[in-house]
Amino acid sequence: MKYRKKLIEVALPLDAINKASAREKSIRHGHPSTLHLWWARRPLAAARAVIFAQMVDDPSTYVDVLKSDPRKRRRAASILKIRRKAWEEAKEVAQQAAAANIPAPEPGPEPTLDEVLAELERERLFQIIEELVQWENTNNEEVLQRAREEIWQSWRRACADNADHPRARELFDRHKLPAFHDPFAGGGSLPLEAQRLGLEAYASDLNPVAVLINKAMIEVPPKFAGCPPVNPAARAKKTLFEQSWPGARGLAEDVRYYGQWMRDEAEKRIGHLYPKVKITADIVKERPDLKPYTGKELTVIAWIWARTVKSPNPAFAHVDVPLASTFMLSTKKGKEAYIEPVIEGDSYRFTVKVGKPRDPEAAKKGTKLGRGANFKCLLSGAPIAGDYIKAEGRAGRMGARLMAIVAEGEGERVYLPPLPVHEAVARKAVPEWRPETILDGKCRDQMPLYGMNKFGDIFSSRQLVALNTFSELVGEVVEKIKSDVTSNVFFNGKRTNCDLYRPSGASGSNCVFEASEYAEAVALYLAFAVDKGANYWSSLCTWHQTRMGIVSTFGRQALPMVWDFAEANPISS
């Protein structure tokens, strides 16, 4: 088999690739990383550049073709003239230095037309890569098509070179690019970018999560490309078949519609567990800054809880004291807010204040005394040792107490004191099912030390009710989509060619699928959404004091203990 050296074997515009890859870390909207967490995900920019450079011949292998282009030859000759003059001057200097026994660098080999032509062509390919790796060009068909054309040219050269190969018809079909195979695809960056560059991509992995990620990214979208949505709202529009649905836009429209249906249905079923906060006159009396919200009901974004254990001080042994790593809610300049505990004899309550605390250091530390599980009793100041807290956790005596409520204001976060009714509602939640799977691997680093041995232990009862509800709705949405499809006169629940049901003269591609296939495809993305929710709906999530939002469970590849956790409202916007 004849082989030509590839561009990746000679040179790459690494600065541009590295810069674009680094930038991807700050991109969220539309990035595959938002579909599902995958730790070793490769940057899309790097994957796209590497695959392109692997498929494209280095210009040094087709200089004869470059020479046949008069324009390229003239430009190369002009540059060669300048370089040759510089080379001759360097050679003369080296000769003079040698005659005088003075060390001087050698001028190197004499520059040639072939080298200059290859270098200029390489620069042209570099420009394609530099445009290709930009996030804004991820779906830019003009840029992608230029890259695909280069890949096709290199492939046709390979086919011509190997025309006499005994298996040429099978291996070197000039009308069909070779397929891309990734048996350990992981997060799917490589097969996704191979597909984007026009290659038929095949991906697999030993991890079933990775298989689902790749299925969602590279198998399902092309399967339903060009198909219009099937949801009732879209079908009610007269323009449904008059407008085009390029790529997976129709599928995306259905994912949005049925995702909203799931959210609305969940609110009907469990909305009573997530009450709004009414700003009463009594609240405003304590907090004059809330006067603009008087009488209004605000949607809760999160409830801030602190884990509790019985005080080790015999005088307060009957009191569940908080294990709060901080009392600060917001440290953003000009928007500071904090929790202030109020001790009343052998009990306590929490209030929330805005502005800078009188004792910033105390507010920052909460009831924590040092690293790890070392706290102090809020009532007596007595130290609470880590071993005591662990023993209480393993004995099932670790609880939680509401410290604050974060609500959605008018373009701002509104921090409110805990309301007894909100805490009571949360405690009434009783999940019908609780995950019994034992924590394994890095998940066992800390959790079992505090009596949390199963996955169900890292969720509050209300969180489990929400996750159970949304999980059930994923199954229900499959039946709903199938019903919507089969009730549509265009589908009849059978394998159908979309062109058969389009009105005469309407444009569209062939969309061949069964109702169940499509329903399961939409449900796949909705299941990922629920999975994403699980990452933000556990008792290991924290409240970020400057971004003023919830930090997900997996901040790193382990489950660390979280003392004061933020419980998100799953039906808030």
pTM of the model: 0.85
SS3 letters for 239-288? Answer: CCCCCCCCCCHHHHHHHHHHHHHHHHHHHHHHHHHCCCEECCHHHHHHCH
**Measured between alpha carbons, how far is residue 511 from residues 150, 230, 408, 479 in Å?**
30, 12, 43, 21
CA distance 251 to 211: 20
Quick one: pLDDT at residue 500?
30
Yes or no: say if 276 and 300 are a contact pair by the CB < 8 Å rule: yes
Lowest-confidence segment of 208-217, 309-318, 473-482, 552-561 by average pLDDT = 552-561
Res 489 pLDDT > 50: no
- Rg of the chain over Cα atoms, rounded to whole angstroms, equals 32
pLDDT in tens, 90-118: 888 888 888 888 887 888 899 999 999 99
Lowest-confidence segment of 233-242, 247-256, 267-276 by average pLDDT = 233-242
Quick one: pLDDT at residue 373?
80
At 300, is the secondary structure helix, strand, or coil? strand
Specify which residues 348 forms β-bridges with. Answer: 343
Res 243 pLDDT > 80: no
Q: Is the dihedral of CA 55, 59, 64, 66 positive or negative?
A: positive
pLDDT in tens, 271-302: 999 999 999 999 999 899 999 999 999 999 99
Res 325 pLDDT > 80: yes
Res 396 pLDDT > 70: yes
Q: If you write DSSP's letter for every residue of 476-545 in order, what string do you get?
A: HHHHHHHHHHHTSTTTTTS-EEHHHHSPTT------EE-HHHHHHHHHHHHHHHHHHHHHHSSTT-EEET
DSSP letter assigned to residue 140: -
Quick one: pLDDT at residue 229?
87
Yes or no: say if 555 and 543 are a contact pair by the CB < 8 Å rule: no
Planar angle of CA 541, 546, 547, nearest 5 degrees: 65
Res 334 pLDDT > 70: yes
Planar angle of CA 348, 353, 359, nearest 5 degrees: 80
- Amino acid 260 reads Q
Nearest to 13 by CA among 93, 149, 124, 163: 124
Res 201 pLDDT > 60: yes
Quick one: pLDDT at residue 506?
39
On the CB side of 262, CA atoms within 13 Å amount to 30
Quick one: pLDDT at residue 501?
34
Task: Report how far apart the first and last C-alpha atoms of the chain are (Å, whole number).
Answer: 59
Mean pLDDT over the full length of the chain: 89
Between strands 180-182 and 201-203, the pairing is parallel
Contacts of 185 (CB under 8 A, 6+ apart): 191, 203, 204, 205, 210, 214
The residue with tokens 């008059």 is: 242
Contacts of 206 (CB under 8 A, 6+ apart): 184
Interval 126-133 mean pLDDT: 96
Contacts of 52 (CB under 8 A, 6+ apart): 7, 128, 129, 132, 147, 150, 151, 197
**Residue 556 exposed, middle or buried by CB count within 10 Å (0-12, 13-18, 19+):** exposed
Q: For residue 494, name the pLDDT band (cuts at 50, 70, 90).
A: very low
DSSP letter assigned to residue 216: I
CA distance 275 to 571: 10
Q: For residue 503, name the pLDDT band (cuts at 50, 70, 90).
A: very low
At 473, is the secondary structure helix, strand, or coil? helix
Phi/psi at 289 (5° precision): -65, -15
Yes or no: say if 253 and 260 are a contact pair by the CB < 8 Å rule: no
